[in-house]
Every structure is written in C-alpha cells, then in structure tokens.
Amino acid sequence: MLPLLKIDQALQAQRGHLLPWVPVCFGLGIAGFFLSPEDPGPMTYLLICIATLIVLTQTRHLDARRLVAWGIVLTGLGFSVASFRANSVAAPVLSFRYYGPVEGRVIAIDRSSSDALRMTLDQLRLRDVAKNRTPDRIRISISSDRLFPAIGSRIGTTAHLMPPQGPAEPGGFDYRRYAWFLKLGANGYTRSPVVMLTPTDDELPVQSLRYRLSGEIQRRIPGETGALAAAIVTGDRSGVGQKTLRILRVSNLAHLLAISGLHMGLLTGFIYAALRFALCLVPPLALRLPVKKIAALSALGAASVYLALSGGNVATERAFVMVCVALGAVLLNRRAISLRTVAVAAILVLIRRPETLFSPGFQMSFAATGALVAVFGWLRDADIWLGPRWVRPIATVLISSAVAGLATAPFGAGHFNILAHYGLLANILAVPIMGLVVIPSVVLALCLTPFGLEQIGLLFLDIGLTWILTVATLVSALPNAASAVPSPGLWVLPLLSLGALFVILWQGRLRWLGTIPLCLSFAFWSAGDRPKVLISENGGLVGILGSEGRALSREKGQGYTAMHWLTGDGDTVSQVLAAKRWPALASPDFGDSEGLKRSRVGAYTLLHVVGTRSAKLLSACAADELVVSNVALDLQGDCRILQPSVLRYTGSIRLDASGTLVTAAELAGDRLWTQP
C-alpha cells in the first residue's frame, strides 16, 4: 500500500496546477480515435457511456481516485468529439478517375508544391455524375497563370480528376484524411483553357476583399517582397515562389510566412500597447476610464478583422483563440500569459478542430508557446537577473529565439525532414524587424488608407520584408546551412511530446523523470530503420535502399512519391540522380531496360514492369520473384504479382529488412476517409 500512498501524495501535490493537463487527456482521446484500426460502432459509444457513468462515481472522493477518474472522462470525451467531427464533415468523395467538363465556383487560390497555380472549387457540376455523388469541393491545378480568376467567379474547363491519394508509403502522411476534413472530394489538373462563366458573386465578400487586397499589395510592392507582404497581410501565398519558400525553410524563417501566433501576437500587442500609451497621455481619460481594458477590447477587435482578412485558416484560428484567451484574461484582471492560458487555448482549438492534433502547425505552435511560458516562468520564479534595463530586451529576444527554436526543431525535423543549423541566428536578425517594422507598417498603411497615404506604410513594409528576405538568403547560403533528417518512427514524436509535457507541467523534482521518454524518443529516432523496398500505390515506382541511398526505378514520373521517399530517408538528391543508383543494385544475371528493371532484394528477385510494351516481354516468372507492375499482367508461374488490381486495395507497400510485406491499407485501417 505504500507505493499507492506515495502516488496519491504526488497527485495531490499537483492541485492548483491541473488545468494544463486537461488538453493532454483530451488529446489522448483524440489520438485514440485516429489511431483506431476501424471506425467505432454503436457498441463502442455504449461502452464509453457506461464507463463514464461508472468512473464519474469516483469523482466524489477527495484522493487520487478523483483525479484519475476525471482524466479517464476527459479521454473518453476527446475520443467522442473527434468521432463527431469526423462524421459531421462527411461529404462525397470521387471513387473513380474522371476526365471531362468541370464547372464550379472559385473559393480559394494557392500554389501546389510544383509551383502551379491551384484553385479550390465548390458548387460543382460534373458530366454524368449524380449530384449526391459529386464532391463538395475539389482542387485543380492550371498550367498557366494568364487567367487569374477572381474569388467567387464561376469557371469552366476540361480537367482530369482523381480521388485523394493514400500515403506515399505505409504509415506516412495520409492525404485522404487531410482532404476528408477539408471536404475535398477530388484533386486534379487541367491543360485546357479556363473559361470565366459568370463574374464574382456577392456571396463571398470577405474572401473577395482579401484577394483584391492581396493583388493591390503585390501591385504596389513588386517581386517576391510583395508576394511575402501579401502572404503576411492576407494569408494569400499564391504569389510566393518555391525558391523563396526553400530559403525561408533552410533559414528556419518559414514560420514568418504563415499567419500564426507570432503575427497575431505582434499585431494585437502593438495595438494594445500603442492605444494604452496614447490614452495614458490624456490624463482626464487615464484617470476616469479603464484604459487597459479599452486597449484590450480594441486589440481584440483588430485580431478579429485580421482573422477575417487572412482567410481564417487553421493556423490563424489557433492564433486567434490564443489571443482571445490572453486578452480575456486582461479583461478579467488575470495574468494574460500563463500555462493556464495556453491550456485553455489548446482545449478550444481541439474542440473546434480535433484533427489538428496531428498537424505540424498545432504541434509546433503549442510547443513553442508552452516552452516560452514555462522557461520565462522559471526565470521569474527563480528571480534570475537578465542584466541592466537596456540589456533585458536583447536578452529576452535571444532567450525567446533559442527556446522557441529548440522546442520546435524536433517537430519541424519530424514533419519536414530538415534541420536548420543557423535558425537561431536568422531569427535573432529577422524576428525583431517583424515586430518593430513590419507589423507597425501594416497597421500604419491600413490607418492611412482612407486618406490615400497608405504608400507611406507600404514603403516601410517593403524595407522590413526586404531585410528579412536578405537575412534568409544570406543564412541559407552559409556552408551546411541545413541537413536532411530521416523520418521518425510512429511513436517517436508522441513519446517526445509526453516527456516534454511532463517536464513542463509537473510540479516538483519528479518532473525530471520526463527526460527519460525524451531521451528514449531521440534514441529510437536515431536507431530507426527505413524500409528496404518501397512500392507506390499504382505500381509506377519502386525504390530500393542501398549503401548509397535509395535507388529509384524511374528518372521521371510520380515526382511527389519520389520526393516523399527520398526526404523520408533524409536524402537530398533529385529523382534523376536517385534513378542512376539502380544499376549498382541490379543483378548481373538480368539486363535492364527503361521499362523493365530487376534487382535482388533478400530472398526476392524484384522485377519492376512499366508500360504495356514491357509487359509483353514477359510470359512467365519464377517462385522467388516479386513482380511489380503499373499495368495488368498475365504470367505463368508461382511468383507474387503486385499489379493495379491488387494495389487498388493495398495502397503503397513496403518490404522490411526481414522480408515482411506491409501495406498502407493495413496501417490505415477501415476508416471514413479510406473507404471508396
């Protein structure tokens, strides 16, 4: 009984510091829903209800049983909220490849990873597709930027459409799940002209204003600087080129491009401080009015306008919620920035969009915020001196950049497979300019617009963003500015997160037990093995891991899949160079041609067939052969054949070093977003 008593005492000591654990328990329930191999049925919810009623009876106790009971209830609630959200966004998904006329209304414009202009359409009409089977929304890429459709306009074209694709490798990023929560029922492209059928309607006034503002900013500030300005002010990143995105990522300044906590915090903080200072300069007002609360309400109104103008995406919503909680604390005379504030923001975000738990934006945003609040709280409680008054702002910037960089680096490396070595230097040089020049310039330009003097603010905005782009360019050009990192295993980032949360949230010396899972997560990451063989979901590409890296069976085609595999390996070479590795792996007993590749892999002789012409060269196969093809085959023999009729159900496939075949369908399970 002594161990139980010690546990009870340890839990009781956490009273008064339990609110930050609420989103942790809630998030565990959400994770349980998404990691489940199949969608829960009525019996599952019945069991959750019964278990909740039983557990609630334990909340009347005053010992640790009460805390554990509430943890279980919150976990079950998170599971149920995630399930409700997944079912509430259900929309038709295209179940076949479609080619034909497409008509729809433009509701968003951005750029794909290939730098092509991409439109999101709703109110769709597809030829010979019933209305109840027509997707709510689709995305199509167009080959030319000559037509830049206005938001709300109705366009028509002839396009290729396909259902959202599954993971490029088993256990990888599942685009189908991402698309499900955006109600995207198909993706595609068009090489045909895009025809404007009707002009902009009045149903999307805010979105139309947003893109008109973006276009005006890019007209006034030409080049990449103007595109970056439009992205920061309106969230429209369609003008930002891939080269700019790359240098921002390599210099660890890509977070400046997304309207998130930094932008929202700087904007509201500037307006709050400026208005409060201005009101305090008028003694009659300062003595009679609650100046602090008036400034907080004004800043909250500005944040609401910024949310609307920026498009209201997930990252901006998350930032807006955090700002609302912080300013709400000011209105209630509570501490504006604390772990409780962060916890309330996380709860609201997870209730609104539980699927964001697995997104890099959510993880990096709350990792940075939680770490900053915790570290500065420890410095405050320990009464650590940061130097003379004139040194403190510099020390604060240095500490903030270092803490935020260290907190977000593992998640950035895990999701994007890149580790910026000079990110601290770049942030020290760029972030202060964002707060001191860029954000005030945006506010100044908006305030001067009614008088026709907005160019004054835009001039300073241009100067500030030019500096930031210069810093990004110089830092990204430094030797070894970044390194590629292999993808972590499935449990690495969750283990790392739980360890970090325990260190930050637990009160007392036992918090340092959280360093154990932290160290284990990095050990598992470094010791993780990448799949020996990867096979794409349509059989069009095969990758074999060798001593020089992954060898690809084709120099071109399926570029997204090839890029995903190579970056997952921590490999920076192009698909063309990776394809040149194949001859070093090929068995000398077989000749290779462009559409027929062979290689010995463990107990298998792997044969990759591309195209009907190559398929006609084969008539039989041996028992030890694993044949992969992107066309139907009719072979004599006992070999294992992975062709479209099979891959349609398995998805992408990996072959581990042990010789075990693992399919994407096995790991994804039978979920709403995986069903045809």
CA atoms of 514 and 505, how far apart (whole Å): 10
Using an 8 Å Cβ cutoff, are 101 and 150 in contact? no
203-230 in b/e burial notation, b at 16+ Cβ within 10 A? ebeebbebbebbbbbbebbeebbbbbbb
318-346 in b/e burial notation, b at 16+ Cβ within 10 A? bbbbbbbbbbebbeeeeebbbbbbbbbbb
What average pLDDT does this structure show over 79-89?
94
What average pLDDT does this structure show over 299-325?
80
Query: Is the pTM higher than 0.85?
Result: yes
Q: For the ranges 67-81, 229-243, 339-353, which has the lowest average pLDDT?
A: 229-243
409-423 in b/e burial notation, b at 16+ Cβ within 10 A? bbbbbbbbbbbbbbb
Give the phi and the psi of residue 625 in degrees, each rounded to 5: -95, 140
The pLDDT value recorded for residue 472 is 92
In the predicted model, is pLDDT for residue 60 greater than 60? yes
Question: Structural domain boundaries of the chain?
Answer: 2-88, 98-203, 243-480, 492-527, 533-668
CA atoms of 194 and 159, how far apart (whole Å): 10
In the predicted model, is pLDDT for residue 2 greater than 70? no
Which of 198 and 169 is assigned the larger pLDDT?
A: 169
In the predicted model, is pLDDT for residue 13 greater than 80? no
CA atoms of 387 and 392, how far apart (whole Å): 6
- The residue assigned the tokens 């049925």 is 41
CA atoms of 251 and 428, how far apart (whole Å): 11
Note the pLDDT tens digit of each residue in 377-435: 888 877 777 777 777 777 887 888 788 888 888 998 898 888 888 888 888 888 888 88
| Fold exhibited by the domain 98-203 | OB fold (Dihydrolipoamide Acetyltransferase, E2P) (2.40.50)
Q: For the ranges 83-87, 113-117, 552-556, 663-667, which has the lowest average pLDDT?
A: 113-117
What average pLDDT does this structure show over 71-90?
94
In the predicted model, is pLDDT for residue 171 greater than 50? yes
Using an 8 Å Cβ cutoff, are 673 and 179 in contact? yes
CB within 8 A of 473, min separation 6: which ones? 247
Note the pLDDT tens digit of each residue in 497-523: 999 999 999 888 888 999 999 999 999
The pLDDT value recorded for residue 439 is 86
In the predicted model, is pLDDT for residue 153 greater than 90? no
Token code pair at residue 527: 């010791």
Give the phi and the psi of residue 250 in degrees, each rounded to 5: -65, -35
The pLDDT value recorded for residue 558 is 86
DSSP for 474-529 reads HHHTSTT-EEE-PPPPTTHHHHHHHHHHHHHH--SGGGGGGHHHHHHHHHHHHH--
Using an 8 Å Cβ cutoff, are 599 and 586 in contact? yes
259-274 in b/e burial notation, b at 16+ Cβ within 10 A? bbbbbbbbbbebbbee
Tell which residue, 571, 535, 658, has the closest CA to residue 170. 535
